[in-house]
Every structure is written in C-alpha cells, then in structure tokens.
Amino acid sequence: MKQITLGTTGITVPQNAFGALPIQRVSADEAVRLLRRAREGGMRFFDTARAYTDSEEKLGLAFGGHWDGLYVATKTAAKTPEALRADLETSLRLLQRDYIDIYQFHMAGQCYRPGDGTGMYEAMLEAKAQGKIRHIGITAHKIGVAEDIIASGLYETLQYPFSYLSTPREAALAESCRKANMGLIAMKALAGGLVTNAGAAFAYIAQYDNVLPIWGIQRPEELEQWLGFFRIPASLTPELRSFIEKERGELTGEFCRGCGYCLPCPAGIQINQCARISLMIRRAPSESWLAPAMQAEMEKIEHCLGCGQCKSRCPYELDTPNLLKRNLADYRRILAGEVSTESYLRPAQK
C-alpha cells in the first residue's frame, strides 16, 4: 500500500483512509466495531466533523486512550472565533484527545486570512499555539475558493471533492497542491454514490502521490472492500482506464452529488435524492426507488416554491430547480414503463 505524506504536516499514512460521516447513521456499538476493524486492517487516518452529529463521540468511544499511531482530522463550521473555540473544546472532549492533528474550516465559502476582519484564522493560530491543534486545514466545494486557498499559502491541507469524475480544472488542484507542498484530502471520491466501481475509484486516486482519499464507510462489507486493497491494491489497467472514460462520458455535465447542502427545502422536497433519482435508479438499482414512499417524495417537486434557496446553496452551482423538474419527468416515464431503467453496472462491478 502506497504511503502518502500530507504536505508540510509530515503526516504519513497509507493512501486508504476512513471518512466517518456515515457512522452517525449506525449504533455506537456498530460504529466502534467498524472503526476498530479499520485500524486492525491498516487504516491510520480518520476524518470527521463537529457537524456530523455523534461521529466524533463514536471515534472517542472506539479509540479513546488508544490513539497511538492514528491521526484524526475534524472540522468546525463556526463563523466566529468564539464559536470556533467552543467547537474545538467539544471536539477534543468527544474524541478523547488532547489535540487535533488537522483542524479544518468546514465547507469554507472564503479563504480566511490573517487581518481579514473575521478573526477566524487568528483563532486557529491561537489554538495551534496552545497545542490544541497541530495543523490548520480547510475544506471547500467551490473550485474558485479552492484555488484561492492554495494560492494563499496559509493552509497545510485542502479537502475537496475529487474523483475520476472531476473536471480537468478540478483535477489540476492535485498538481497545484503538490507545487504548494500542500496535502489534498479527497472527499466524495465516490461522487455521492454515483461511482460504483471501488477498484476504479481507488486506482484513479492511486495515480497521485499527494492525495489521500477518505472513503465514507457505514457497513462492514464496505469496509472490507477497502481493506482488501491493502492486500491487493487496484492499479489503473487499460481495462479500468477504458471504463473510467466511459463513465465520464455518461456523467459529464450537470448532476447532483447528493451532498445535502441544499437542505432544508421550504417545500419539504428531499432534494439530495430527488435531484439525482434518474441516475440512482440506473446505477444503484433498488426497489425502494420506485416504492410508494419515494413516489410521494418525487411528487413534492410539483409544489416547488421557486424560491431558489437550493440553487444558491449548491456548492456545485447547479440549476437545482430545473434538475428536479427533469428528474421528475423522467421518473414519471419510468413508472409508466415508457423508458428503460437498465443498470449501468459493468462486468467489473459484479
């Protein structure tokens, strides 16, 4: 397994890390078993956030008092220095740690700088001087913000959505981070569930020697799939290259990654599922997509208020209202039997 060093942090770990957002959806006992199995299987880097409900607490239950050899990155979505300090104290208590290895601004809408009037970067420097954090990182979803962050030279790591579906401009972030001696932490490496070939996802990122993927893991079978790459790492074979090119052709353009930052919707629409139902039905087939409960959710699109809140919140700058309408129209054709829902699954995925 290739080892990755995250820029000037000096943190060196296997290129196969644990994204702890999904463990908020399972019981504490299940989460502890998953996390300890991940450590046993070779994972050394764990990413979480204050916003992920009880994820930090579950990490603390799993590793409290036994963090040796492990690294944790967490995040604050605070908008004031006072809120940042409060978040940090909560994270330290729940994680059962004396310090955070990488403390990140969460989904930053700007590149915080010293002297910008917010006091946010100064609060990070204060926490670092106090020994409560080791390294300052930041996460972003908008490409322009990410580029500004790298150019600033103020951060040791950038966390950004990065997968084989990334645009050429997004893929260029890896080289920009390399030149800046900055670690790139790849979130959403499965594009919110639209990437279904783990081998292709892993092999694509393995091309980069400065990118650390954090796989969102919720179930034991998912974890074992990623741990399997410690034994036999996937490589970017001609077959996988061809597969990825085909995937890019099918998914180039406007599609929802399911992140949920558009929520809540004033009309009660489950936007992060409804805006990508056409793809999910075909790429991740499940009877639940066509069940009465989902049909009722999709029909809520008819009651869209046209307020534009979802569009303004979307980190990918999608035209969400129109995307919802197109998905509803396709969904109705599927229910009527007018269009095929043949899966995109390939032999390599079966």
Residue with token string 């995040």: 75
Least Cα distance to 7 among 184, 168, 163 occurs for: 184
Sign of the Cα torsion 75, 211, 201, 324 reads positive
Tell me which H or E stretch contains 326. Answer: helix 320-335
Tell me which H or E stretch contains 14. Answer: strand 12-14
Contact 165, 131 (CB under 8 A): no
Say which of 52, 121, 155, 204 is annotated catalytic. 52
SS3 per-residue string spanning 224-270: HHHHHHHHCCCCCCHHHHHHHHHHHHHHCCCCCCCCCCCCCCCCCCC
**Distance (Å) of CA 150 to CA 12, 15, 180, 183:** 20, 21, 7, 10
**Residues β-bridged to residue 104:** 75, 137
92 backbone φψ class: left, alpha, beta (φ>0; ψ -120 to 50): alpha
| Full DSSP string of 261-305 | TTPPPTT---HHHHTTHHHHHHHS--GGGGSHHHHHHHHGGGG--
Helix (H, G, I), strand (E, B) or coil at 213: strand
Residue 98, token pair as written in the block: 């004396």
**Residues β-bridged to residue 75:** 104
Is 261 known to be catalytic? Answer: no
Contacts of 317 (CB under 8 A, 6+ apart): 142
Q: Count CB-CB contacts under 10 A for residue 342.
A: 8
Contacts of 83 (CB under 8 A, 6+ apart): 76
Query: Which residues are the active-site residues?
Result: 52
